[in-house]
């Protein structure tokens, strides 16, 4: 079956996604106008249009990495909007304490008790969103504590100021320390005849 230009473009895009002929045919039934391809046709397009398919993949990857929530600013904007709504719930709508009702007893001995409960769930979620914002804008540096063989933290020499190092630099130092420990352990084993 000879494909029209729009069908061929769709087919190439689906091949670039990595779809097989049966998956392509499922999508093709929803295409207007519908079409069907054989495995041989798909193989033919893969072989003859390899450069186009690679370009489509690169374009698709670029689009995926540079649109929507893949962009840090968009994620931060969405998180800020969410944080503002939660803040308004808690402070403007005064939902920091939520009204609750409890009933005790039954029939003639029933008593209704009205009380307020701290809205800890929303406060906890707001803190999580604020933490996410800080992480997105690199305001909060997460550090790992590395311990020695005895389980005690490895404490750097006080003459070195590590406070301005990035996580990547600290990880490199940690890796170097662990490598040195391994080598010193293997050297001791060799000297002791183990």
Residue 88: phi and psi, rounded to 5, are -60, -40
Percent of the chain with pLDDT over 90: 30
Angle, CA of 58, 63 and 64, to the nearest 5°: 95
Provide the 10 A C-beta neighbour count for residue 160: 9
The pLDDT value recorded for residue 138 is 76
Provide the 10 A C-beta neighbour count for residue 178: 13
Structure tokens given for 191? 């000297």
Rounded mean pLDDT of the chain? 81
Query: Model confidence at 189, in pLDDT bands (50, 70, 90)?
Result: very low
Look at phi and psi of residue 138 and say left if phi exceeds 0, alpha if psi is from -120 to 50, else beta.
Answer: left
The pLDDT value recorded for residue 162 is 65
pTM for the model stands at 0.41
Q: Which whole-number Å values give the CA distances from 154 to 44, 110, 164, 173, 192, in the listed order?
A: 60, 62, 18, 11, 26
Could you identify the residue written with the tokens 């473009």?
Answer: 9
Query: Model confidence at 127, in pLDDT bands (50, 70, 90)?
Result: very high
Q: Do 132 and 79 meet the contact criterion of CB atoms below 8 Å apart?
A: yes
DSSP-assigned beta bridge partners for residue 121: none
The number of residues in the chain equals 194
Q: pLDDT by residue (tens digit) across 135-156? A: 888 766 666 667 777 777 766 5
| Sign of the CA dihedral with 39 first, then 42, 48, and 54 last | negative
Radius of gyration of the chain (CA): 30
pLDDT at 134 over 70: yes
pLDDT at 194 over 60: no
CA 162 to chain CA mean position, Å? 28
Q: pLDDT by residue (tens digit) across 61-118? A: 666 666 676 677 888 888 999 999 999 999 999 999 999 999 999 888 999 999 999 9
pLDDT at 18 over 50: yes
Task: Please tell me the distance from the alpha carbon of residue 34 to that of residue 27, in angstroms, as a whole number.
Answer: 9
Q: Which residue has the higher pLDDT, 6 or 156?
A: 6
Q: Do 156 and 145 meet the contact criterion of CB atoms below 8 Å apart?
A: no
Of 17-31, 32-46, 113-127, 150-164, which range is least confident? 150-164
Tell me what the mean pLDDT of segment 132-136 comes to.
85
């Amino acid at each position: 079956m000879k494909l029209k230009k729009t069908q061929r473009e769709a087919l190439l895009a689906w091949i670039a996604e990595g779809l097989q002929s049966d998956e392509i045919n499922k999508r093709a039934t929803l295409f207007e106008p519908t079409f069907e391809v054989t495995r041989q046709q798909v193989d033919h397009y893969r072989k003859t249009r390899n450069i186009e398919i690679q370009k489509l993949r690169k374009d698709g990857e670029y689009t995926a990495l540079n649109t929507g929530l893949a962009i840090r600013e968009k994620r931060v904007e969405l998180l800020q909007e969410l944080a503002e709504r939660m803040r308004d719930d808690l402070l403007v709508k005064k939902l920091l304490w939520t009204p609750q009702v409890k009933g005790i007893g039954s029939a003639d001995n029933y008593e209704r008790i009205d009380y307020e409960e701290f809205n800890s769930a929303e406060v906890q979620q707001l803190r999580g969103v604020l933490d996410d914002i800080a992480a997105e804008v690199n305001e909060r540096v997460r550090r790992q504590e590395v311990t020695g063989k005895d389980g005690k933290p490895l404490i750097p020499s006080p003459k070195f100021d590590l406070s301005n190092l990035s996580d990547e630099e600290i990880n490199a130092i940690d890796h170097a320390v662990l490598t040195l420990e391994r080598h010193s352990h293997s050297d001791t084993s060799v000297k002791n005849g183990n």
